[in-house]
Amino acid sequence: MRRIHLTEDIRPLSEFRAGAAECIAQVRASKRPLVITQRGKSAAVLLDVEVYEDIMERLELIEDVRVAEEQLARGEVVEHDEAHRRLLAGLDG
C-alpha cells in the first residue's frame, strides 16, 4: 500500500457524498487509502480492493507465523520425515 498524501487523501464526508465516484476513481488509480472525516475527525478509510486483499493476505501470513511460533514454544513439532509421510498419505487418500 502506498503512503497517504495528507493534502490529497483526506476528505470530509460531505465531499465524499457529493463525489463518491471520483473518490473511488482516485483510490483505484493511486492505490492509496482515502481517509473520510466526519466533524473534523477521521471516520473511515476507503481502500482499493486489490490493496485490501493484499493487506488481508499479509495479516493471515503473520497470524500463521504467530501460531507456528506458539506451537514451537510448546514443543508441538513434527520431524521432517513424519511430516513428509503425512503429506504423502494425505495426497494418496
Q: How far apart are CA 55 and CA 62, in angstroms?
A: 11
Band (1; pLDDT cuts 50, 70, 90):
confident
pLDDT in tens, 8-60: 999 999 999 999 999 999 999 999 999 999 999 999 999 999 999 999 999 99
pLDDT in tens, 52-82: 999 999 999 999 999 999 999 999 988 999 9
Closest CA to 40 of 10, 83, 3, 76: 10
Sorted by sequence, the CB contacts under 8 Å of residue 48 that are 6+ apart come out as: 27, 28, 31
Sorted by sequence, the CB contacts under 8 Å of residue 5 that are 6+ apart come out as: 32
Return the pLDDT at 52. Answer: 97
